[in-house]
A and B are shown apart, each in its own frame.
Chain A
Amino acid sequence: MITKKMSDLKTGEVGKIINLSADVRIKRRLLELGLITGQMVKVLSISPLKNSYLIALKNYSLCLRRSILKSIEVEIEL
């Protein structure tokens, strides 16, 4: 079990969200999109310059910027 920033996940890795530290406006939106504590997320693809991430959560896929993923902490099982 180690904790990481979500932006450090590699393609195909799965993590469990444990903390969100973005500012209120962005945090609210992330929560509304389903990025709540305890949610499992998977990185499906990372764009060529590594600035956008395609992630899967619940049963849909979402593109997010790297800067936002930096504020999300995840826990991954080894």
Chain B
Amino acid sequence: MKYIVLVGNPNTGKSTFFFIFSNAEEHVGNWHGVTTDYKEKRIKFDGQEIVITDLPGTYSLSPFSFEEGVTKEYLLTHKDCEVINIIDGNNLERNLLLTFELVEMGIRPIVCVNMANEFVKNGLKIDKEKFEKELGLKCFFINAQNKKESKEVLNYAVKNTNDKKEKNETNKIDTYSHIDIFSYITDLQDMFSDYLPKYNQNFNLSIFEKIKILEQDESVISKLKITDKEKNDIINILEKNNTLEKVINLRFIIIKKFLSNCVSKDNNKIYGYSKIDKYCLNKWLCFPIFFVIIAGLFFFTFGSFGTMLSGTLSNFAELMLSPLSSFAQNKISNQFVADFISNAFCGSVVSLFSFLPQVILMFLGLYILEDSGYMSRVAFIFEDFLKKLGLSGKSIFALLMSFGCSTTATLSSRNLENKNSKIKTAMLTPYISCTAKLPLYLIICNAFFPKFKVLIIIFLYVLGVVVALCVSYFLNKTILKSNETTFVMELPKYRIPNFKKISKNVYYNAKQFLLRAGSVLLGFSCIVWILQNCNFRFQYHVGESMLETLSNFLSPIFSPLGFGTAGAVSAILCGFVAKEIIVSTIGIINGLDGTGGLNQISNSLLLSTSAFCLTASSSLSFLVFALLYLPCISTVSVMIKEIGRKWTLFACLLQFAISYALSFVVYKIANYFIFNGVLSGIVSIIVFTLICVFIFFIFGIIKHKRYCKFCPANKNCDKKQHL
């Protein structure tokens, strides 16, 4: 077995290289830190079995984040691997720093300069032979997407592991001493013995460890078997002499000298930043441009094209399943089993397929934006706002997509790299009003508030967003604190999306959606169907169904909200399957046959015979409750998959509690308005707000007086001097 490891800076194309050989269907992005753990893949190459490992990208071997620590540990513990160091040809200076550190560690990496095409375009000329000779390492100049070139590299690496075994390479450490360029390592050793002569001999430190101590790497210093006082002494000596800067400067000086020998530059172009960014990142233009793009994506996914596709596909699925359902209806004598197969099973499969086109279109759009490099710009623009809420810049996409459909939006949260902000984003999407809820708003507003229809619908949309932001803020302050992982981000270059890669990613995500989320959706829908159609003795269509019994039983819970009627409660329960169903359930409960339009349903609500007994105020609280109460089954199943059962349950409970509290408040306020007249209602709200503002103001003054973060002693500090 031969082991080959890929190491490099973030976003240099390690994963692209990895996937050419491993054929895995995982995500590679034009984005920072897509690989967060190492991935191993056993493959057959030239008839030999080898294991390729893709390590998370790292800038150096002094880990800053957890992922970078993975890389360092792996390299320290797997000494017998052949290391391929992939470096970005457009940023040789910084990328070579890692190469030098690898050499210091005693590794002789195969240097693989990626994006060779692009740097020729950027006016860089590399004297390849000189580059290889001076560096003393085997070098390749490739484009990682090019299979032939990448194969050559791997071929060499595999052969090289053979040679090594024969040569019996015991003292790896000595492999660079004959190369001029690495003679600085001896200088670093001298520096160590100058400053810390005590530790030079006795502790049996490797060169790598010595250098890391000079760089004040606490993880290495803390491993020394010495007292805390001695450790502090070491740190003081190092700090006084500023060894950290000296070491890194030395490396950069050598790299610069080396590069000036073998690379010639025609222009001083800044890689990554292009002319388009003048507009895309402009203070005033960035938002309009973003909203145009997101609106485009939105209409692409949820507009007529997406709806048409989803209609076509669900019709197609229905057509494909019709033999099964007709077989069930005709051949199976047991009516329950027959209906179960033809309605519950086939019905939910069809509804699953009606989601599929929109899922595909959304991922297609998102991956195009990501691969083109625009997503990093979005993160840059929105980082400010969303950081305060504990979300990452990328969450904005999920939040905006949830105006369309929370299922697809929740699914898109999987692109987030930080675990906590991923959980938060997935939890927030259901609060935002999706398109499926709109018909419900329309029928209720038509029935009760024909004059204020638009106003109330806008109110509901705004309420959803506000609640989502508040929830995120409180989660960030309490249990889901986000840590600052995105402290540094490189801006990738704009590039034309690679459609092969995108289609692979879209296919992978659609498959995941169908298999994992689909199975949960199917199970839940079947259970709800049974609830709707059977009584508690599991008899089919006999007497009261379980759902009705349940609604009667549960209705007292909802009476404080004004809609504690069996009809309203069963509409709410059915809404858990899919929000679209609420409207049709209202129709069925009110005795309509389902052929009438929305108008007929809203008229039926006003009749005295209606099972809902809604009034103006209770209908408002019903709307607020329906907006917020629980995500639909498909969203829940996606959430379970993305963030786990525990968090999904928590999200559902939290949502239910919030919706309950808010509808209660809305109901009481609405009642107050109705009984006391609009004018006195407005006046009392204004008074209430003023009192709140006043209280907050006073608290603010007290808080301000008590602390100044920067100079607690100075009581008259106006804070301005610190800004």
Residues of chain A having any CB pair with chain B under 8 Å: 20, 24-25, 27-29, 31-34, 36-37, 44-52, 54, 56, 58-65, 68
Contacts and interface: CB of A to CB of B under 8 A. Distances in A.
Contacts of A36: 245, 248-249, 252
Interface stretch (B57-65, B109-117, B644-652): B57-65
Task: Give me the 7 closest cross-chain CB pairs, A-B, nearest first.
Answer: A49-B384, A61-B272, A45-B281, A51-B384, A31-B248, A63-B489, A61-B491
A50 to B, nearest CB: 8
B593 interface: no
A54 B274 CA distance: 12
Interface stretch (B86-94, B172-180, B300-308, B584-592): B86-94
A24 B218 CA distance: 9
Interface of B: 59-60, 62, 64, 90-91, 93-94, 97, 215-218, 244-245, 248-249, 252, 268-273, 277, 281-283, 286-287, 380-381, 383-385, 387, 484, 487-491
A48 B381 CA distance: 7
23 contacts: A28-B64, A28-B216, A31-B248, A32-B60, A32-B62, A44-B281, A45-B281, A47-B381, A48-B286, A48-B381, A50-B384, A51-B383, A51-B384, A54-B273, A54-B281, A54-B380, A56-B270, A58-B94, A59-B270, A61-B271, A61-B490, A62-B490, A63-B383
Nearest to A68: B487
Given A27-B244, A68-B487, A52 B273 contact: no
A56 B488 contact: no
B277 A44 contact: yes
A59 B491 contact: no
Contacts of A64: 487-488
Contacts of B283: 46, 48
A44 B380 CA distance: 12
B66 to A, nearest CB: 13
A37 B488 contact: no
A45 B277 contact: yes
B384 A44 contact: no
A46 B384 CA distance: 11
A37 B268 contact: no
Nearest to B490: A62
B93 A61 contact: no
B491 A62 contact: yes
A63 B91 contact: no
Contacts of A49: 384-385
A72 B282 CA distance: 24
A29 B91 CA distance: 17
B564 to A, nearest CB: 46
Contacts, number: 114
Contact of B244 (A24, A33, A62, A68): A24
A45 B281 CA distance: 7
B64 A25 contact: yes
Contacts of B218: 24-25
Given A48-B283, A60-B271, A54 B97 contact: no
A59 B218 CA distance: 31
A63 B380 contact: yes
Contacts of A56: 270, 273
A18 B91 CA distance: 23
A31 B245 contact: yes
A19 B344 CA distance: 69
B254 to A, nearest CB: 13
Given A48-B283, A52-B380, A54-B380, A60 B272 contact: yes
A33 B383 contact: no
Nearest to A38: B249
Contact of A61 (B270, B287, B385): B270
A50 B244 CA distance: 30
A46 B216 CA distance: 32
Contact of B59 (A33, A58, A61): A33
Contacts of A59: 90-91, 268-271
Which of B59, B383, B488 has the most C-beta atoms of chain A within 10 angstroms of its own C-beta?
Answer: B488
Given A24-B244, A46-B283, A60-B490, A32 B59 contact: yes
Contacts of B64: 25, 28-29
Given A48-B287, A61-B490, 14 more contacts: A24-B244, A27-B244, A28-B217, A29-B59, A36-B245, A45-B380, A47-B381, A51-B384, A59-B90, A60-B94, A60-B272, A60-B491, A61-B491, A63-B383
Nearest to A49: B384
B488 A63 contact: yes
A37 B281 contact: no
A28 B252 CA distance: 13
Contacts of A63: 380, 383, 488-491
A54 B492 CA distance: 12
Contact of A60 (B91, B97, B286, B484): B91
A28 B62 contact: yes
B384 A52 contact: yes
A45 B97 CA distance: 27
A72 to B, nearest CB: 13
A50 B484 CA distance: 17
B331 to A, nearest CB: 64
A31 B253 CA distance: 13
B269 to A, nearest CB: 7
Contacts of B94: 32-34, 58, 60
Given A32-B59, A47-B380, A60 B244 contact: no
Nearest to A52: B383
A62 B271 CA distance: 10
A47 B384 contact: yes
A24 to B, nearest CB: 5
A32 B252 CA distance: 9
A33 B215 CA distance: 14
Nearest to B383: A52
